Structure formats: C-alpha cells, structure tokens
Structure 1
Amino acid sequence: MNAIQETNFQFPGQTGFYRGKVRDVYAFPDKLVMIASDRISAFDVVLPRPIPFKGQVLNQTAAYFLEATVDIVPNWLLEVPDPNVSIGLKCEPYAVEMVVRGYLAGHAWRQYRDGHRTLCGVALPDGLRENDRLPTPIITPSTKAHEGHDEDISRAEILERGIVQESGYVQLERYALALFERGTAMAAEQGLILVDTKYEFGNLNGKVYLIDEVHTPDSSRYFYADTYAENQQAGRTQKQLSKEFVREWLIENGFQGKSGQTIPVMSDEWVKQITTRYIELFETVTGQRFQANDATDPLSRIETNILRAIRE
C-alpha cells in the first residue's frame, strides 16, 4: 500500500504552501487546497511512519461532518475533488482551538490525576474517576502552535492578551457547544459517545467559519455506548475509537514528546493495526462503508484531480 508521506506540488496560481503535522496546504488568492497526508502525529510530534489510508479517512470523515453541521455554522469547504483533498475558502484562522470535553479523559484526566482541579480556568469537582461524564460539557481552549506543542490557555488569558476579542470569543463558544451537541447526537445514533473534540474557526470578511477537520479520529475521542456504563462501574478501560490508543502505546514505550525521548520503532504489524482502527472509526461513526482508494500512484492521482478542480 502506497502511503502518502508528503506532497511537493507547484500549481498554477499558487501563492503559498504550508506543511502542518498532517495536512499539506496550498494557498491560492481566495482558496486553500488541503491534502490530508497519511502522516500521524501524537504529543504534537509527527511519527516516522505514515499510516496507509489515514488521510482518506480524515478527509472523508471531516467532509461528512462539515456537511452535517452547516446549518449550525458556515464552514470553509467548497468541494472534495479527491479522497485525500478538500478545497475551501481561505479564512484567517483564530489563534485558538476550542476543545470541548464531555468526559474526563485523555489530557484532562492526566491533569486531574496529577492533582489539578482547574483546567484552562475551568473548575473540576473532586471525586471524579477516569472517563467519568462531566456535569456539563466544558471548553478548555488551547493555543494553536505552528511548531511545537499547543498549550492550554484559559478564557481569561485569551481575552487579556487580546488573542480574540470578547464578542468574537463568545460566538466561538456558542458555536463550539452547539457543534458538540450535534456531534453527540450523531454519535449516539451510531452507538457511540462523543467524549471530547476540538474545533477550529476562521474569519472571512467579518464572518466566522468552521475550518479544518471536524469529529475525526485525530480531533475527537469516542467511546462505545453499549459497554460504557458496565466498564465504568467495574473500573475497566473504556473501548474507544480515537487516536488515544496510539498515544497509550507511545507512553507504554517511554515516549510523550518530551525532550530527550526517542520515538519507539513502529513495526509493520503495528502500522497495519492503526490503519484498521482508522477505517473502523470511519465506518462506525459515519455508518458508511469505507472504499479504499489503493491507486499505485496516489500522488499523480491527487495532482490530476486538483489541477482539474482549480481549472474549472
């Protein structure tokens, strides 16, 4: 299988290029072309081996949820000309990610376990266990880093530093919670629990747009609803669909993205397992069958489809 590690195209009319942790972004005067590569990141570090079909899963999952939430907030997406490609409006991103949490899991749990009872300025009650449902969904923003680690930040700090003006931030909060409510309802229809997720927003001509990916395995965490209560009562690990299993594997092998740590070797079998888990998430969360595009030369396919789209 030909995994996509990176792209290096030069398109007519292209005005810029940016390589993120996962996506390669080609800028045009009024549009962005985002190519979802098969790179995988954890702890804000890109791991050395790409995961076949991961980019297709992310791109198609994001497109599915962008279409399903456009009645809540307008989004950047215009078309999906290729399984790995999305083309959309060129917005000015807000420099924060809106992380919404309905359960105490992942990073939030690790902070809580270590004794913290305030996360991003939000107070958490005592007596919670890992994966417990929170009394109400909370927003725990983070700064959006171009390089290195995103950092937790509170609402008060965002406003004090002028990262987002208060009126704009109130709107982002409202959109984030409404999107989380919709995502929760859609997950429930598929027998899942939306545990936490992140949203990114941009501004174009004074209007807020939802940008980037939505409710994908890279940006979200899901539990299986049918076993949640039983596992929680018994103190067992929750069966989940997310990228958390990759983070857990890294932690078990001595890596958390800290200075001096070495990324463990990813075997062929482990890479194959990650691919299987990503496809499982797509099919489970969308209710659709995954159609793997196993072209022998995916880069040529991607370039051809983008050229056709930008010339139309």
Structure 2
Amino acid sequence: MKLFKLIFILLIAGLTSCNVLQYATVPVDYAPKLVFNADTSRILLVNRLTFDSTRINKRKIQALKSAAYSAVAGAEKELKLLPGVKVSSLIDSIPFNVNKDSVKHLAAKYKANYVLTLDDFNAGVVLDNVAYDGNAQVAYYSTKATVMFTLYESNGIYFKKLKGQATEPQDGRAGYSIYNVARNAALDALKDYLPYTITNYRPLYNQSDALKISVRHILAGRFDLAYKILNPLIDGADRKLASRAAYNLAVVYEAQGDIDEALELAKISNQKQQNDYATTLIAALIKE
C-alpha cells in the first residue's frame, strides 16, 4: 500500500523558457512490506556483538560501540512508532555488554514475541574518488556503516537475517556523520518492517503553449485543470503532441496515486511516439 503526497516543486535551471526542463517531484510513502504477527507485538533488543580486541585498538572499539549503540537506538525509536509494537532493550550505551542467553529463555523472561539481536557492526571512512584540480589531487571520502541483525520468533527456532548499510559523504563533521550513518544503516536493515518515503523526479513536457499551461497547473496541484487541457490532445492529429500530453497526464495520475491509469497513459504515450520519458516512467510504475 502506498500513500501519495500531492507536493510539487518547480526546478528551474536559469530563466523560464520553452527550452527549460521542468520537473514535478512526487514523494511516495510506502507502507511496510512485512508486519509483525501479533496484534500487540513485544520486541526485545539484545546485543550479541563482541569486538575483537586483538585486531582493533581500544580507542576504535569505543568509537564502534558508540556508533553501534546509535544504530540500535535508531532502530528502537522507529520500531516504537509502529502501531501495536512495544519495544524493550537490554543493550546499554556505556559497557555495551554482550548477552549470550538463549533466545527462548529471554523471550519467556521478558514476555517478548520477538527477539532482535545485534550480531555485527562496522563503520569507517572510505575513499570514494580522487579528482584532479589543476595540478593537485583532491580526495573525496565517505563514512560507511554496515549492520547485521537477526530477528527471532519467541521459540528461538525461526529467524530472519537482516543486513543494512548506509553511506554519507564526508563534510567535516565526522562525529555527526558516523552516528547518522549508523542509524541509517539500522533503518536500512529493518526497511521491510518500516514505512519509508522515496521522491520521484518526473520531467514534464512544456514545448507548446498548451503543454506549458498544463505544467503550470500540475505544479500548482490543479490536476483537474491539467486534465481538461491534456486529455483532448491525446486524440489529436499531432502524434508528437499527443504523446507528450499522454505522458504529462500519466504524471498527473501518478501524483494522485492511480498507478494503473498512470501506467496506461504512459503506454499510450509510447504508442503515439516512442520517448525515453514514458519508457522510464513505465519501468518505474511497474516496480511501484
């Protein structure tokens, strides 16, 4: 299930003219793909991660523990927002103690339907690219984090491995960056259970007076007026204009959450005249 926000932003590179490409941004809210079984699910967070002190120095271990805790705290916060979900945690921020008790024992002791164990975590700065600025080399770095969880049912038998990762370009705020990336990696691991938002940037055709007017209406959220302009053009003699009108109208339907109609209009756009915009939109709508 997807909920569509009717929000549009005009992105203009330079002065407005018929040659300037205009985009509608369509944020799409996705509901979780998976849900927890019980009407009221209790999830227990447990740490199973031990850092190898023979391979990692003490200072780095403390930094990794702190970042790993940020990942767990981020996961806990988001899980608590889910309807019918209660979360408790045995993971502390300072000693970051490891719990080796059996999942079945912990689930029974804390009356949990699920036990989410933190199994692995790593984070650090990686080299992304080296560019040449005149005679000098410029290195670009990012902070990257990976995290591994296991989600167990209370019997300790059935489980699912959850792996997440996130990357953020370095911007001089290394402390902020690593914690932010750690949280994002945890959310990536749990993405099937959490709602999330993506933003689609859809280019709009505006190479005629009618299309320009339709674009203004689309960007203002006046979809009914855009429809009145675009729909008659689809059956017109000018196949190129008909193709572009059908595509713009497909974006209108996508913005209103009607994926089936948007897909149909995008296909009509390609039938009238093959174009990359419609082909790209068709592929995206099929995935949605």
> How high is the TM-score relative to the length of structure 2?
0.25
- Structure number with bigger Rg: 2
**Structure with greater proportional helix content:** 2
